[in-house]
Structure 1
Amino acid sequence: MTTIKIEPLTPEAFAPFGQILDATGAPDKIINQGKCGRYHDRATLDFADGRAAISIFKAEPRALPYTLDLVERHPDGSQAFLPMYEASFLVIVAPDDNGTPGTPLAFRTAPGQGINLNRGTWHGVLTPLAPPGLFAVVDRVGPGANLEEHWFDTPYIVTG
């Protein structure tokens, strides 16, 4: 098995796969009688058809080292994961290599940070590292399966 080291999650490193959703830096606007900073338009929602929906996912927390044997992608729509608790989660992505995933990369979010995956991005399953594993997910609903899975012949081991 090949080992993958978790890398720092930076906008530059994650840019080929999507956007980081957080409230760092100065807000774009101050609203609500000066009591709220608005960090505006942080994700590129991209749907071939259908519409955007907000779902709630409750995923079982995982531990490191983590065995990565499956990635998936959604060719018809982007997918955003917004944790509903202050803990890190593991984000695994892979570049596309002629229709199959290339070598995966692993990132750990900061507590309270979310991500938006570009349409068609190979990614691991939702992998919280602490309970309760509760997320708001913004993605496409509409006709068609919108899911491709790829099982690795030889799993990867993700370490901190």
Structure 2
Amino acid sequence: MEPLTAGAFAPFGQVIEAGQLGCHYPINGGSCVRYHDLARLDPGFGGELIASVFRAQPTALPRSVAQFERHPLASQAFIPLSGRPFLVLVAPPAPRPDPQSLRLFLADASQGVNLDRAVWHHALLALEGVSDFLVLDRKGPGANYDEAWLDQPLWLDALEVVR
């Protein structure tokens, strides 16, 4: 497992967090700081950007993982609302998720992610309790959901993906 950083996550999308590296500036007479343009939200051609809340049950570790999904027409962002860390298990775009290319990230409670189009990912992996996430994704025409299963399940433990 690796910490969630903008550089490490770049092949899969963007980290959404208020940090000193991005564009930020005071607004509202100095009573607020705007952390501007943190992700390339992409509703795809003919799509609309929508906001939803997903409530995820906590993940007990260790656990097996086999099912992955991707959204080929648009990006999908997950922003934690419950003040808890979560895991992000991803693989690069490909016809199927490659078990050898899986990356496991630990997002702290102040970080969200925006997954680029067609990035394979596991369902939400909440830690420490039931957790709500603001999800920004696409509504519109076309098939924007693919599902794939690994030939052999992998074990996810508290430290890494065990092949």
TM-score of the pair, normalised by structure 2: 0.89
Q: Distance in 2 between matches of 1:8 and 1:112?
A: 13
| Aligned equivalent of 1:9 | 4
| Aligned equivalent of 2:78 | 81
Indicate yes or no: 2:40 matched with 1:18: no
Q: Distance in 2 between matches of 1:114 and 1:156?
A: 25
Aligned CA-pair RMSD: 1.4
Q: Deviations over 1:21-59 (max 9, x none)?
A: 011216611012211111100010122321100011111
Q: Distance in 2 between matches of 1:49 and 1:16?
A: 25
Partner secondary structure for residue 100 of structure 1? coil
Segments of 4+ moved more than 4 angstroms: none
| Aligned equivalent of 1:3 | none
1:94 to 69, 86, 91: 91
| Aligned equivalent of 2:40 | 44
Q: Distance in 2 between matches of 1:58 and 1:110?
A: 17
Q: Deviations over 1:82-132 (max 9, x none)?
A: 1112110110100234x1112311101011210000011111101111223
Gaps of 5+ in 1: 1-5
Q: How many aligned positions are there?
A: 154
Q: Distance in 1 between matches of 2:153 and 2:45?
A: 31
Gaps of 5+ in 2: none
> Sequence identity, in percent?
45
Deviation, 1:155, is 0.9
Partner secondary structure for residue 44 of structure 1? coil
1:28 to 24, 27, 34: 24
**Contact 2:97–2:150 (8 Å) recurs in 1:** no
